Amino acid sequence: METVSENRAFGGVQGVYRHASASTGTDMVFSVFVPPHEAGAKLPVVWYLSGLTCTHANVTEKGEFRALCAELGLIFVAPDTSPRGEGVADDVDGAYDFGLGAGFYVDATEAPFADHYKMWSYVTEELPALIAAAFPADMGRQSIMGHSMGGHGALTIGLTYPERFSAVSAFAPIVAPSQVPWGRKALGGYLGADKAAWRKHDAVALIEDGARVEALLVDQGGADAFLEKELQPDLLRAACEAAGIDLTLNMRAGYDHSYYFISTFMADHLRWHADRLG
């Protein structure tokens, strides 16, 4: 693992790191904030998955999480959103919602994306092993959150591994990708035409098929330009009501899809995670 940068912040260390990924066959960059702690201490881990067009840098630079992570004693990990580099396939038209920056947290099975787009394995297997080995992380206390496409990733991963994640939350998530244009394009392009294969990467479908967590927290901006067409949080509300999942869905009037929205409510999410992480 190569250290790209490390900076002192709120008594802890904000780092950016690069490593050669076996999952993607590329170099991958991620960021980790480690709060101040006593020597030998193991700290709970909050995973943050970013949205379309983003890298680790968006939340690292704009998320305003470090002060509270330092106060609460939380490690904050932010991976990239897709593989990158020479030879990595992209959307043929260079669209922002597929290909580079838009890995959708799935393991692609369709050519040419299957060669590198293994973001599910990277985020759920490879990177956690690296975090456990290289940082003072208590992997028995993990939680996960994300934004937009990353909110989709956080919900689907959290629902798939409820024993691993003590808390699951999202900002403006794509809750039912099988039913919206962003998701249909991504799932069809990465996984093929068999919609049965899409269901394990669709939070609403996972709940319909029996996946359960005790509670979910979602914040959604009421002025989000993508709300009606791509996000549709009411589909998640209906699925959670039918399944008996305690969903807190906060509709935030006047807020959009940006990091101004995310940073405003980041502290609420971190406190909610910390309460459940112990």
| Interval 178-216: pLDDT, tens | 999 999 999 999 999 999 999 999 999 999 999 999 999
Average pLDDT over residues 115-140: 98
Q: What would the mean pLDDT of 148-152 be, rounded to a whole number? A: 98
- Decide: helix, strand or coil at residue 109: coil
In a domain, 40, yes or no: yes
Per residue in 221-267, pLDDT (tens digit) is: 999 999 999 999 999 999 999 999 999 999 999 999 999 999 999 99
Region 94-121: mean pLDDT is 98
Range of the domain at 54: 2-272
Question: Is 258 within a domain?
Answer: yes
pLDDT value at position 49? 99
Work out the mean pLDDT of the chain and round it to a whole number.
98
Question: Among 147, 152, 257, 269, which one carries the catalytic annotation?
Answer: 257
Instruction: Establish whether 209 is a catalytic residue.
Output: no
Catalytically annotated residue among 21, 148, 166, 169: 148
What is the structure's pLDDT at 42?
98
Predicted local confidence at residue 186, as pLDDT = 98
Q: What's the structural domain count of the chain?
A: 1
Q: For this structure, is 91 an active site residue?
A: no
pLDDT-derived band of residue 71, with 50, 70 and 90 as boundaries? very high
* The predicted structure's pLDDT at residue 229: 98
CATH label of the domain that carries residue 62: 3.40.50.1820
Compute the Cα dihedral for 265, 227, 49, 51 and give only its sign.
Answer: negative
> For the residues 59-64, what does the mean pLDDT come to?
98
Three-state DSSP class for residue 107: strand
pLDDT above 90 as % of the chain = 100
Q: Tokens 């490390």 map to which residue?
A: 6
Structure tokens at 229: 């067409």
Reported confidence tier of residue 165, pLDDT bands at 50, 70, 90: very high
- Across 57-67, average pLDDT: 98
Residue 278: inside a domain, yes or no?
Answer: no
Residue 64 in domain: yes
What is the reported pTM?
Answer: 0.98
Residue 277 placed within a domain: no
Q: How far is CA 133 from the centre of its chain?
A: 21
Residue 148 is among the residues annotated as catalytic for this protein = yes
**Residue tagged active-site, from 23, 224, 269, 273:** 224
